[in-house]
Amino acid sequence: MDGCDCIEPLWPTDDLLVKYQYISDFFIALAYFSIPLELIYFVKKSSFFPYRWVLIQFGAFIVLCGATHLINLWTFTTHTKTVAMVMTIAKVSTAVVSCATALMLVHIIPDLLSVKTRELFLKNKAEELDREMGLIRTQEETGRHVRMLTHEIRSTLDRHTILKTTLVELGRTLGLEECALWMPSRSGSSLQLSHTLRHQITVGSSVPINLPVVNQVFSSNRAIIIPHTSPLARIRPLAGRYVPPEVAAVRVPLLHLSNFQINDWPELSAKSFAIMVLMLPSDSARKWHVHELELVEVVADQVAVALSHAAILEESMRARDLLMEQNVALDLARREAEMAIRARNDFLAVMNHEMRTPMNAIIALSSLLLETELTPEQRLMVETVLKSSNLLATLINDVLDLSKLEDGSLELEIKAFNLHAVFKEVMSFIKPIASIKRLSVSVMLAPDLPLCAIGDEKRLMQTILNISGNAVKFTKEGHITLVASIVKADSLREFRTPEFHPTASDDHFYLKVQVKDTGCGIGPQDVPHVFTKFAHPGGNRGLNGSGLGLAICKRFVSLMGGHIWIDSEGTGRGCTATFVVKLGVCDNTNTYQQQVTPLVWPSSADSDLSAPSAPKVLPDGRGSTS
């Protein structure tokens, strides 16, 4: 045991080593005290740091560690119990704080790891945002190209120029080797090559429209990649060895356009789509990008819109040319019509002079001959001549009046006249004939009917005489009643029709004239035709007439601002003819208070009566059938 050296002997204190430890503890304490100062500065500057209290706790741990090393400086030499107590307290505090910090780090580390995860997430989001920004820049570039292409495409309204401009601008923008347009044929069974960019293949080539690749392009509204070996991609000659290029195809809607042909534009298109084929250069490994395909799709839509505008322009130009041709034809027809009207007027003037003069002479001489002593046979023949002459003279007058009405040359003679005298004159014409047929004729004038009125006296009398003459002619037995009254202001709306809109005023009044008879009447199916020229409703019931009288009456009534109509309950029940005309109010009625003087007036068209009575001769030599 004495020779055993298992236990290391006590080592006496070396002043040099103690000095090194002393210096080391001093610098360790200095470092420990500087670290909290740096942490305090960091916490002060980093207001967003979420773990300040952890840093404070960690700073306390470091301060305590530094204090332990600092107090340890006094333990290298003989020291007092107070130094030992301080050293013990510092070490115990350091142990407690270090354990607490260690436990706290157990909870903090997962949060710190999650912060790292959030950093990675934000980094990925930033990269995604960069990609989106790149996409936005690409879209802006695409939009700029689209605007440029759209401007070039819409700078013209010629369809061939639009298509050629589209191919050229697409080829320049996308750097294409070839670009072509396939249009549906007239029959719709094939697609024809109508336009190319490089003109490497002669236009006019065709492919069947029922190919799978064609149907694939037609069925998609997006630009698609097609095989370079497909018939649609054969838009350039094959020469030498080359890398197969990528070929894209997109449909172009034909918005109500004609089928596009090489030299002609037919009227209808069998298909509503064309196909645009775009080929990248074959000497590069370039591929189609998404934004390039989107650019092609937008351009295809713009081409469709531009083609529709061009078609509308061409249609409008064709319509304008057609309208100009029609205007020329109408102008020629108008000149011919004016020449015909002048020729007719010349003819009517000649007829008026050359036929009316001898006819009036025949009527006058026949009337004088009837006043001489004649045998019954002679009287019958003279009456027949006079009747025929009167009918012919009336027909001539009606034709002249109708001609003036149709060409618009007839003007009303507006002046003041005796309204009562008009009715008395009409009765003086029809009463003799009615007495021969044993018909009773009565006239009823309303008490408030003014004596004087302003209007066309002759046309009003001719209208009343025509309607009354028809009543006498078509009535075999019974009576005829003529009623004249003023339409009250509150009753005007009862007479309104789509063509007639009476309005009350202090300057004029509306005269209502009704002629009722108990004659043969008119069937309901014939009423709408009674005012038609040369019409004979119901065959005119076996009586003669030109069929012009009522047509002329309707024109006269319309010129006088009125309306005329006929009511009948049917055949054999008589009828009622009614018309309303507008007349002016006459202020001076003293002139017409004197004795009424019969007015001279020609007979109307259909008032020619077949009764064998002696006709009256008017002062101007014209005959009347009364």
Boundary-marking domain end, from 319, 334, 359: 319
CATH number for the domain harbouring residue 419 = 3.30.565.10
Digit-coded pLDDT (tens) for 261-312: 434 444 444 457 889 999 888 777 788 888 888 888 888 888 888 877 777 7
Q: Of residues 621 and 300, which shows the higher confidence score?
A: 300
User: Are 506 and 568 found together in one domain?
Assistant: yes
Helix axes 419-436, 457-473, angle to 10 degrees: 20
> Amino acid letter at 351?
M
Digit-coded pLDDT (tens) for 175-234: 888 888 888 887 778 888 888 888 776 777 888 888 989 999 989 889 999 988 888 887
Closest of 252, 251, 248, 253 to residue 224, by C-alpha: 248
User: Are 188 and 249 found together in one domain?
Assistant: yes
Task: For residues 585 and 417, give the distance between their C-alpha atoms in angstroms, rounded to a whole number.
Answer: 11
Q: Of residues 108 and 450, which shows the higher confidence score?
A: 450
User: Are 116 and 23 found together in one domain?
Assistant: yes
Helices (H), 154-236: 159-174, 212-218
Cβ atoms 580, 556 nearer than 8 A: no
Task: For residues 116 and 464, give the distance between their C-alpha atoms in angstroms, rounded to a whole number.
Answer: 113
**Residue 195 falls inside a structural domain:** yes
For residue 542, give the H/E element and its range: none
**Residue 342 falls inside a structural domain:** no
Task: For residues 204 and 183, give the distance between their C-alpha atoms in angstroms, rounded to a whole number.
Answer: 10
User: Are 81 and 174 found together in one domain?
Assistant: no
Q: What is the mean pLDDT of residues 541-552?
A: 62
**Residue 383 falls inside a structural domain:** no
Phi, psi (rounded to 5 degrees) for 102: -65, -45
250 is written with which tokens?
Answer: 């997109």
- Strands (DSSP E) contained in 67-112 are none
* 2-6, 106-110, 219-223, 238-242, range with the lowest pLDDT: 2-6
**Residue 170 falls inside a structural domain:** yes
Cβ atoms 291, 138 nearer than 8 A: yes
Task: For residues 266 and 285, give the distance between their C-alpha atoms in angstroms, rounded to a whole number.
Answer: 42
DSSP state of 258: P
> Amino acid letter at 495?
F
Q: What is the mean pLDDT of residues 246-257?
A: 80
546 is written with which tokens?
Answer: 């030109």
User: Are 158 and 98 found together in one domain?
Assistant: no
User: Are 186 and 113 found together in one domain?
Assistant: no
Check residue 307 and give its pLDDT: 79
User: Are 175 and 80 found together in one domain?
Assistant: no
Q: Confidence class of residue 363 from pLDDT cuts 50, 70 and 90?
A: confident
Percentage of the chain modeled with pLDDT above 90: 13
Q: Which residue segment(s) compose the domain that 45 sits in?
A: 16-130
For residue 377, how many other CB atoms are within 10 A of its CB? 8
Q: Please state the pTM of the whole predicted model.
A: 0.42
Q: What is the mean pLDDT of residues 246-268?
A: 63
Give the total number of structural domains in the chain.
3
Through-space distance between the first and last CA atoms of the chain, rounded to whole angstroms: 188
**Residue labelled with tokens 């469709």:** 304
User: Are 119 and 205 found together in one domain?
Assistant: no
List own/partner pairs for 240-246 with CB under 8 A and 24 or more apart.
242/282, 242/283, 243/282, 243/283, 243/284, 243/285, 244/282, 245/177, 245/279, 245/280, 245/281, 245/282, 246/279, 246/280, 246/286, 246/287, 246/288
Task: For residues 61 and 57, give the distance between their C-alpha atoms in angstroms, rounded to a whole number.
Answer: 6
Digit-coded pLDDT (tens) for 424-460: 988 887 887 788 788 899 999 999 999 999 998 888 9
623 is written with which tokens?
Answer: 């005959």
Check residue 484 and give its pLDDT: 95
Q: Of residues 603 and 61, which shows the higher confidence score?
A: 61
Q: What is the mean pLDDT of residues 569-589?
A: 86
Strand partners, 182: 193, 275
Residue 596 in this model has a pLDDT that exceeds 90: no
Task: For residues 464 and 487, give the distance between their C-alpha atoms in angstroms, rounded to a whole number.
Answer: 17
Task: For residues 608 and 469, give the distance between their C-alpha atoms in angstroms, rounded to a whole number.
Answer: 7
User: Are 58 and 160 found together in one domain?
Assistant: no
> Amino acid letter at 396?
I
Cβ atoms 606, 546 nearer than 8 A: yes
User: Are 442 and 562 found together in one domain?
Assistant: yes
DSSP state of 36: H
List own/partner pairs for 571-574 with CB under 8 A and 24 or more apart.
571/520, 571/521, 571/522, 571/523, 571/538, 572/520, 572/521, 573/521, 574/475, 574/478, 574/516, 574/517, 574/518, 574/519, 574/520, 574/521
Per-residue CA distances from 619 to 355, 396, 565 (Å): 19, 19, 34
Residue 597 in this model has a pLDDT that exceeds 50: no
**Residue 369 falls inside a structural domain:** no
User: Are 423 and 499 found together in one domain?
Assistant: yes
CATH number for the domain harbouring residue 303 = 3.30.450.40
DSSP state of 598: P
Strand partners, 279: 178, 247
Check residue 106 and give its pLDDT: 65
User: Are 183 and 64 found together in one domain?
Assistant: no
Q: Mean pLDDT across the chain, nearest whole number?
A: 75
**Residue 503 falls inside a structural domain:** yes
